[in-house]
């Protein structure tokens, strides 16, 4: 009795709860909007079709398996199936797509330099032809063999929508990793095939004889039911990808969409999907992809945290961090102090140019000329109109301090003599990043509710937190820094006695590392509450970025407390402590859920 309700209680509701628990901390307002939008569309589109199938006896339900309430002859349990299946599949798509920046898969098919974009057109046309035939043929055959009635009705109902979704989103459906599209279709489909098999075997619902082909995928699973669940999950995933496609277009091309609300209207989403691919800015897309590649290789903590942000804030943060990485690499990896100083000069000239009121295309091209094409593609996208200039100049000053270690008199006159020198250095290379990130947070804040006092307080806390993270970085990299001739431990801290044994010197360095790490955690403890005053849409992402890096500090502290070596390869570069990816993901999730690490 009430078997249909039991199907939900046993198979669909528990799965939906599990996905909600996993994804709940990661939900953004856009995610919630997408789920609700797809549910409304799915339910409203399916009700007339399902009602017709029931009234014409294509499928039936025994009276004792349903609770009783109906809408247009559709049992309440069936209506709930439309809702919960859409919810489950959409949640899975959102979860598995968090790590990607969808805009990097867009292509300007009119750009001859992009061979992958030009190759998409034949696939687009082939998909349109197949889906057009799937829409038309069932109508032409409607008076044919009655055993094919259910299959024809499925195709006639689904194929026109699939045609529309394919036309809008074929680029992403073809270029996204298969784990972000086809796997997401396959997993819930296979699960629902099993559930459907059990229901058909128990007689919870049945397809009437004379309307089905009589073909089974496996015992008790009718081919029509298998196709139905495959197509419905395909519709949900393609619909979800279409929403992501629209969001990506809105976020990636401010020249076409200057203002994008936190939750774009359906009309704006459709307008984005109708934008011709020939109007996509190839240079911006290439630069964003290059920036993302740089971060994936050079800044794994932020790369992980970036998946928590969304919209234009995520894109601008990626471009900012990539700029910093490019500058750091060119200057830090220079073969000589003279060449490093030359790169600092080039970056200074670049900043002078983009912040000059006289900046034009010719001046910008001249400022970019010394850089490689890949570096240029990142530099030209720096969102300077949303960033104060002073922190960027201070960042270059920090790079200059790095180069002072290679001066001829560096041993007699080291750049980090006192703790104040260390604090100054950390301010230049890290506190500046905190200020720049928060500038973007407040610039993109869709609510604009923060007052000037709150903004000032949060920015001040952000700069201090930046210093704390740099102290963790310094403690982690003592050995690798020493190998290239740098020591950020204040020179005045060291005992100058020449009689000190090697063991004594190592113990002294260990003590200094512990002292700097304790300073980092003190700053962290004093300022982490300020994160809760940030705009809600960015709060969790900043939390994850901070906690991911402080987790490295916790690893170091644990090893200190247990007498373990601090310089080891824990998944990162040789000689550098690193948090394994699985642990970083776990830290990110529990941070989003509201957990804050120990001080």
Is the Cβ–Cβ distance between 461 and 423 less than 8 Å?
no
pLDDT at 577: 56
Is the Cβ–Cβ distance between 403 and 337 less than 8 Å?
yes
State the average pLDDT for the chain.
89
Is the Cβ–Cβ distance between 416 and 348 less than 8 Å?
no
Helix (H) or strand (E) holding 528: none
pLDDT at 301: 65
Instruction: Kindly report, residue by residue over 118-133, the tens digit of the pLDDT.
Output: 789 999 999 999 999 9
Instruction: Kindly report, residue by residue over 528-571, the tens digit of the pLDDT.
Output: 999 999 998 898 888 888 988 898 899 899 888 888 777 654 44
State how far the Cα of 347 lies from the Cα of 371, in Å rounded to an integer: 9
Give me the half-sphere count of Cα atoms (radius 13 Å) on the Cβ side of residue 456: 3
State the average pLDDT over residues 137-163. Answer: 87
State how far the Cα of 248 lies from the Cα of 311, in Å rounded to an integer: 8
pLDDT at 208: 66
Instruction: Kindly report, residue by residue over 380-408, the tens digit of the pLDDT.
Output: 999 999 999 999 999 999 999 998 888 88
State how far the Cα of 72 lies from the Cα of 75, in Å rounded to an integer: 9
CA 223, 229, 232, 237 dihedral sign is negative
pLDDT at 576: 55
Please choose, from the candidates 490, 358, 476, 370, the residue with its C-alpha nearest in 3D space to the C-alpha of residue 423: 490
Cβ burial of 228 (10 Å; 0-12, 13-18, 19+) is buried
State the average pLDDT over residues 261-279. Answer: 95
How sure is the predictor about 574, in pLDDT bands with cuts at 50, 70 and 90? Answer: very low
Using DSSP, state whether 60 is helix, strand or coil: strand
What is the chain's percent helix, strand, coil content, to nearest 5?
70, 0, 25
> What structural domains and CATH numbers belong to the chain?
3-95+130-280 (no CATH), 284-593 (1.10.600.10)
Is the Cβ–Cβ distance between 69 and 21 less than 8 Å?
no
Instruction: Kindly report, residue by residue over 77-106, the tens digit of the pLDDT.
Output: 999 999 999 999 999 999 999 989 999 999
pLDDT at 227: 95
Q: What percent of the chain has pLDDT over 90?
A: 63
For residue 306, is pLDDT > 90? no
pLDDT at 570: 44
Which contacts (CB < 8 Å, 24+ apart) does range 342-350 have?
A: 344/396, 344/399, 344/400, 344/403, 346/370, 346/371, 347/396, 348/393, 348/396, 350/379
How sure is the predictor about 111, in pLDDT bands with cuts at 50, 70 and 90? Answer: confident
Instruction: Kindly report, residue by residue over 476-500, the tens digit of the pLDDT.
Output: 999 888 888 899 999 999 876 655 6
pLDDT at 572: 46
pLDDT at 571: 44
Instruction: Note the helical H segments in 24-148.
Output: 29-55, 76-97, 115-118, 120-140
* Residue 534: Cβ within 10 Å count: 23
pLDDT at 336: 82
State how far the Cα of 193 lies from the Cα of 127, in Å rounded to an integer: 26
Using DSSP, state whether 206 is helix, strand or coil: strand
State how far the Cα of 153 lies from the Cα of 171, in Å rounded to an integer: 28
State how far the Cα of 454 lies from the Cα of 121, in Å rounded to an integer: 51
């Amino acid at each position: 009795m009430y078997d249909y309700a039991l199907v939900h209680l046993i198979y669909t509701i528990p799965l939906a709860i599990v996905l909600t628990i996993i994804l709940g901390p990661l939900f953004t307002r856009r995610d919630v909007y997408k789920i609700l939008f797809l549910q409304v569309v799915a339910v409203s589109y399916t009700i007339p079709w399902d009602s017709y199938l029931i009234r014409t006896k294509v499928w039936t339900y025994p009276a004792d398996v349903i609770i009783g309430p109906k809408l247009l002859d559709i049992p309440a349990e069936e209506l709930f199936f439309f809702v919960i299946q859409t919810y489950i599949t959409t949640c899975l798509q959102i979860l598995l797509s968090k790590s990607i920046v969808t805009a990097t898969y867009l292509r300007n098919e009119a750009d001859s330099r992009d061979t992958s974009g030009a190759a998409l057109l034949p696939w687009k046309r082939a998909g349109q032809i197949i889906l057009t035939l799937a829409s038309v043929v069932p109508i032409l055959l409607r008076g044919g063999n009655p055993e094919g009635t259910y299959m024809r009705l499925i195709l006639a109902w689904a194929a026109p929508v699939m045609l529309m979704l394919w036309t809008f989103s074929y680029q992403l459906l073809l270029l996204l990793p298969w784990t972000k599209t086809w796997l997401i279709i396959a997993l819930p489909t296979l699960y629902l095939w099993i559930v459907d098999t059990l229901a058909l075997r128990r007689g919870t619902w049945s397809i009437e004889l004379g309307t089905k082909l009589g073909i089974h995928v496996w015992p008790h699973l009718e081919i029509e039911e298998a196709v139905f669940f495959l197509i419905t999950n395909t519709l949900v995933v393609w619909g979800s990808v279409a929403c992501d496609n629209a969001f990506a277009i809105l976020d990636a091309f401010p020249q076409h969409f200057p203002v994008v609300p936190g939750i774009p209207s359906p009309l704006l989403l459709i307008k984005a999907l109708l934008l011709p691919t020939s109007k996509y800015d190839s240079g911006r897309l290439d630069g964003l992809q290059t920036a993302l590649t740089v971060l994936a290789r050079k800044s794994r903590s932020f790369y992980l945290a970036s998946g928590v942000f969304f919209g234009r804030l995520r894109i601008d943060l990626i471009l900012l961090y990539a700029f910093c990485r490019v500058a750091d690499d060119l200057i830090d990896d220079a073969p000589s102090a003279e060449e490093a100083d030359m790169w600092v000069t080039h970056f200074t000239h670049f900043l002078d140019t983009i912040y000059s009121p006289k900046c034009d295309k010719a001046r910008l091209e001249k400022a970019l000329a010394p850089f490689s094409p890949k570096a240029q593609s990142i530099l030209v996208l720096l969102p300077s109109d949303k960033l104060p200039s002073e922190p960027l100049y201070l960042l270059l000053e920090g790079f200059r301090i790095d180069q002072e270690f290679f001066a001829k008199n560096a041993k007699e006159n080291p750049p980090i003599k006192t703790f104040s020198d260390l604090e100054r250095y950390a301010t230049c290379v890290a506190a500046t990043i905190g200020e720049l990130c928060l500038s973007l947070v407040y610039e993109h804040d869709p609510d604009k509710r923060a007052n000037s006092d709150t903004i000032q307080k949060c920015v001040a806390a952000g700069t201090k937190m930046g210093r704390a993270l740099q102290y963790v970085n310094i403690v982690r990299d003592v050995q690798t820094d020493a190998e290239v001739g740098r020591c950020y431990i204040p020179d005045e801290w060291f005992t100058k006695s020449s009689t000190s044994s090697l063991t004594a010197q190592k113990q002294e360095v260990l003590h200094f590392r512990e002292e700097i790490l304790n300073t980092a955690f003190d700053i962290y403890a004093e300022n982490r509450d300020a994160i809760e005053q940030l705009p809600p849409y960015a709060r969790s992402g900043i939390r994850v970025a901070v906690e991911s890096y402080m987790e490295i500090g916790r690893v170091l502290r644990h090893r200190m407390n247990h007498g373990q070596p601090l310089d080891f390869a824990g998944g990162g570069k040789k000689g550098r402590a690193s948090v394994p990816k699985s642990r970083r993901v776990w830290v990110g999730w529990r941070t989003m859920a509201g957990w804050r690490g120990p001080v």
